[in-house]
Structure formats: C-alpha cells, structure tokens
Homo-oligomer: A and B are copies of this chain.
Amino acid sequence: VSGPADRTGGETAPRRWADRLVAAVAARQSQIVLGLDPDPLRLWPATDADVGRGRGDVGSAVVTHCLAVIDAAGEACVAVKPQLACFERLGAPGWAGLAEVVGYAQAAGLLVIADGKRGDVPVTAEVYAEAMTALGADAFTANPLLGIDALAPLVDTRAGVFVLVRTSNPGARDVQDLELAEGGPLWQRLARIVGELGGPGPDGLADVGAVLGATEPGHLARARELMPRAIFLLPGVGAQGGRVEDLAPAFAPSRAGGLVSASRSIAGAHEAEGGDPAERARAAAHRLRELAWSL
C-alpha cells in the first residue's frame, strides 16, 4: 500500500501496453490506427482556425495539418502512428513538431505508436529506447535484423514494441521470404522470435507485437499460429492494396489482436473522391472502423 504508485498496480499505475490497448479498443470501439505521414507538398489547406495555431514555417504547417487530421478522423481511431521519417526530414523543427503531435493525440485520448523501425547494436538500442521514452510514445516499431540482444533494450521499456516480421512492400520477398535451411521463410523465424520475446506470461495479449503487411493476408493464419498472443500491426490497407475483409486471423485472440493502420486512404481520401478533406477523412475512418469491427 505504501509503494510508489507506478509499482503497486493500483489504479494510477501505468499498465502494461497490451492491457492499455485492450481497454482503449473496447472504450473507443475501434481497431483503426491513423497513420500520420505528412508530406509538405500535400498538406490540407489551412482553415481560419488552423491559422491561429501556425507559426509560419514548414514545421508548424506540418503540425497544423496533423492536428487537423486528428480532429477529423481521430474519433474513429484507437491510436495514431506518426511516421518518424516525415518529421525527421524537417530537422529540429520537425522533431519539435512531432512532440507537439504526440501530446495532442494523447490529450485527445489516442494512443501513439511511433513508427521509426529503429534497430541497432545493444548499446545503441538502449539509446533508441530512451529516445522513444523521451518522446512519450505508447509503442513503437523496431527492426529485428540485429538479433535478440539488440531487441532486448527496446522490449524492456514500458512501451509496446511492434517488430517487423513481414512488411507490405514487394521487396519484402528479397530478404524476408528467403527460405531457411531449417525450413520455412525468414519471416516465420522472425515470428518465432517475436513469439518468444512476448513470453509465456499471463493470459491475454503480449507487449511484443508484429508488423505484418495487410498486402499478404495469406500469411496471417500462419503468423497467428507462431505468435498466438502478439498484437499485429497491419499497414498496407487501401493505398497499398490490402483489404480489411482479409484480416480476420489477426483478430482471433481478441479484437485488440489486430490494429489496422491507414494513412493515405484517410488523410488523402479527398484526393480520390473530391470534397472537403476533413469530411472525407472522417467518413473514410468511420467506414474502416465499421468494417474491421464487424469481422
């Protein structure tokens, strides 16, 4: 009763990532992750309300855009996924803007998955873990090429980790699909590593999840066998050709077992359909939410 709040498991303690996600999915009735990949050449036109927020530079224009996208589509989502590259290309103002976007999303009740796909030798992986913690991300993506000792510092944070297992791009074949002498492709070996890192632990979902491209839904049933408790982060729906209807195996353990990530098909919905960007984004996010929730 006398221990610090964050160690007692009391109501004020930050819970495990997976538990927090399960609660958020239930509360918001959504498994949709709003990808934030701002392109300075494709920002939404600023409204009068936006202009008051702006500081006139490209960094703040990107922030203004991201906040408007969150305002429009966030209500249908459980999390946002800022693409770190899109902020990194703006240098220091981009990183300041990223912190602003993270704070805004969290204040709106959304979880934040920082998508940087970092991976490095253990001593440097510890530093990346610090960077993700300093950013305040609830979860982040990681690259497993450097092996288990390099993933360990990332797994040892309070945040959730999504390890790349089978990505959504055609080039994933070049390396991730290589057949191993032990049998099966490399991505299934990566899946086993993720399954082991998640640990036997309690029932329910693991804090170590997997990135699996929605463009190859045929892999999902096998991936679920190899990682029964992992949360699957599923990019590639919409612009990259993946269909929500094909993702059912992801949701087998529970509704929070799969997170459907979409960015261009929400923030860029008006480009295909015409009309107001915010209205189109809101409608696209709600359609996606309903489609996934019904599976």
Question: Are B96 and A92 closer than 8 Å at their CB atoms?
Answer: yes
A174 interface residue, CB < 8 Å from B?
yes
Q: How many copies does the complex hold?
A: 2
How distant is A275 from chain B, measured CB to nearest CB, in Å?
Answer: 24
Question: Are B122 and A120 closer than 8 Å at their CB atoms?
Answer: no
Cα of A235 to Cα of B181 in the assembled complex, Å: 29
Q: How many residues belonging to A are interface residues under a CB distance threshold of 8 Å?
A: 58
Q: Interface of A with B (CB < 8 Å)? A: 37, 83, 85-86, 88-96, 99, 117-124, 127-128, 130-131, 134-135, 143-151, 164, 167-176, 178-182, 186, 189-190, 193, 235
Question: Are B148 and A171 closer than 8 Å at their CB atoms?
Answer: yes
Which residues of B have CB within 8 Å of A149?
A: 169-171, 174
Question: Are B121 and A167 closer than 8 Å at their CB atoms?
Answer: yes
Cα of A98 to Cα of B178 in the assembled complex, Å: 37
Q: List 11 A-B contacts (CB under 8 A).
A: A88-B95, A92-B96, A92-B99, A143-B145, A145-B164, A146-B164, A146-B169, A146-B175, A147-B171, A178-B181, A186-B186
How distant is A151 from chain B, measured CB to nearest CB, in Å?
Answer: 8
Question: Are A174 and B147 closer than 8 Å at their CB atoms?
Answer: yes
Question: Are A91 and B99 closer than 8 Å at their CB atoms?
Answer: yes
